Amino acid sequence: MTKRIIVAGLLGAVVMGVWVMLSFAVLRVGGQSIRPVPDQAALHAALKSRITEPGTYACLYISSEGEAAQFPNYRDEPLYAITYKGYTHNTVPGFRNLGVLSLLLAPTLAAWLLTKASDSVLRRFVTRALFVTTLGVFVAMAGDWPRAVADEQQASGLLLTTANTIVTWLLAGLAIAWRIQPQRS
């Protein structure tokens, strides 16, 4: 039973990994939210000299009458959010490893949950696959949506990300459902 779950989870992880790479490389899902800025070198130098502590900064941030006087029409000026994490490309913490770990664990957990499903779910391939796909809907709602709201992502980007998450879980669900079948008595 345990071997069956682990194999199904690894198979689901491989399918997920391949789809995520393809959707990013071919469809550009996930890559649309970060773009380079024009005149990057000058802007980088200005930010580097003025922002030295990690945090999230706002520009145009008006906190006093004096600052408001400098920008008489500040309500019509664009707003920028600047996040400085406090590390460089060479010192990025190992969060990517956490992503790989979750890519391995999530389908394995889905395979384990599927083995705990009722006989009516386990009986048919389609219901097994949809069971795992439904987990993807919850992942999208619990992960993609709050992150999109926090990042003020456009609705079109959120819909694309959500659809991609559901397709990812559907494909993993097909692989897991193929491997997790009802136990023969």
The residue among 70, 91, 112 that closes a domain is 91
Q: Give the bridge partners for 84, in sequence order.
A: 55
pTM summary value? 0.69
Q: Is 26 exposed, middle or buried (0-12, 13-18, 19+ CB in 10 A)?
A: exposed
146 and 65 part of one domain = no
Mean pLDDT of the 45-62 span: 84
86 and 147 part of one domain = no
Contact 13, 161 (CB under 8 A): no
58 and 133 part of one domain = no
Please report the pLDDT score of residue 83 as a whole number: 81
* Residue (of 20, 1, 34) closest to 171 by Cα position: 20
pLDDT per position as a tens digit, 73-128? 877 888 787 888 887 767 766 666 667 778 888 999 999 999 999 999 999 999 99
Please report the pLDDT score of residue 55 as a whole number: 85
Per-residue pLDDT at 31 exceeds 60? no
Please report the pLDDT score of residue 167 as a whole number: 92
48 and 128 part of one domain = no
What whole-number distance in Å separates Cα of residue 140 and Cα of residue 19? 16
DSSP per-residue letters across 37-56:
PTTHHHHHHHHHHH--SSEE
Report residue 72: phi and psi, to 5°. Answer: -60, -30
Total domains in the fold of the chain: 2
Please report the pLDDT score of residue 82 as a whole number: 83
Which residue range is the domain that position 71 belongs to? 40-91
122 and 166 part of one domain = yes
155 and 111 part of one domain = yes
Mean pLDDT of the 151-177 span: 84
Residue 62 lies in a domain: yes
